[in-house]
Amino acid sequence: MAASTHPHTEARRRTYADITALLGAFCFFLSALEYMVPKPLPFMRLGIANLPILLAADLLPLPWYLALALVKVFGMSVISGSLFSYVALFSLAGTLTAALAMRLARKAFGRLISAVGVSILGAVLSNAVQMAIARLIVFGDAVRLVAPPFLAAGLATGALLGVFAEAFAGKSAWYARATRELHG
């Protein structure tokens, strides 16, 4: 199958794979950092590790973008040894929700919405979905007690990540090079 692939297509595929893997690795790294941040519920995610996904929203085509989200969830679950637990379910639901929301916002509004707006949208929706799952399988109605601080934390981290992503995309030589290689 690979032998019949056009060389340019194969080279492009390799570049996509390379950038997806690199961004996935940064997700693992940021996830390890996030693990050290105290949270109201230790197993829930604030979304710091979604920064590479936010950066990828403008870089990667949809299939590679979704692959990045899945690489992040699987890799983080392997590193933390939580693959068969509810923690992985929280991570999967939160990551896919944030990824799809950020992608949709970017595609629907283009440059009319800033990285800060995209990031806040992804973080708040991700946290809301995690709270909904927590209500279903762990906490029941008592989840309303932890929801306000958790959603507020999502708002704050979303805003901070958005500011950082905006600045990074504007100044980074790596980001400029990756954009050139992928979009010509």
Partner 1 sequence: MFPPWALAAAGAAISAAYLFQRSLAVRALMFLCVLAAAWLSGKKLSFASTIVVSAGIVAANLLVPVGRVLAVLGPFRLTESALLDGIGKALVFEGLVHISKASILPSLRLPGRFGALVASAFVYYDRIVEYRGAIRPSTLIEDADRLMLRVWEEPLAAPSSEARRGGPRPVAYATLAAAVLAAYVPLFIKP
State yes or no: residue 24 binds partner 1 (CB under 8 A): yes
Please say whether the beta carbons of 122 and 79 come within 8 A.
no
State yes or no: residue 43 binds partner 1 (CB under 8 A): yes
- CA-nearest of 89, 62, 70, 68 to 24 is 68
In 66-171, DSSP assigns E strands to none
Please pick, from the candidates 4, 8, 42, 180, the single residue that binds partner 1 as defined by CB under 8 A: 42
State yes or no: residue 82 binds partner 1 (CB under 8 A): yes
State yes or no: residue 141 binds partner 1 (CB under 8 A): yes
The residue type at 113: I
- CA-nearest of 157, 130, 155 to 50 is 157
Q: C-alpha distances in angstroms, 122 versus 12, 47, 151, 177?
A: 28, 9, 12, 26
State yes or no: residue 11 binds partner 1 (CB under 8 A): no
Site for partner 1 in 51-70 (CB under 8 A): 67, 70
**Residue 86 CB, nearest distance to partner 1 (Å)?**
6
Site track for partner 1 across 103-132, x = CB under 8 A? ------------------------------
Q: CA torsion angle for 128, 157, 44, 147 (degrees, to 10)? A: -40
State yes or no: residue 78 binds partner 1 (CB under 8 A): yes
Q: What is the C-alpha to C-alpha distance for residues 139 and 149, in angstroms, rounded to an integer?
A: 15
State yes or no: residue 77 binds partner 1 (CB under 8 A): yes
Residues that bind partner 1 (CB under 8 A): 17-18, 20-22, 24-26, 28-29, 41-43, 67, 70-71, 74-75, 77-79, 81-88, 137-143, 145-146, 164, 167-168, 171-175, 177
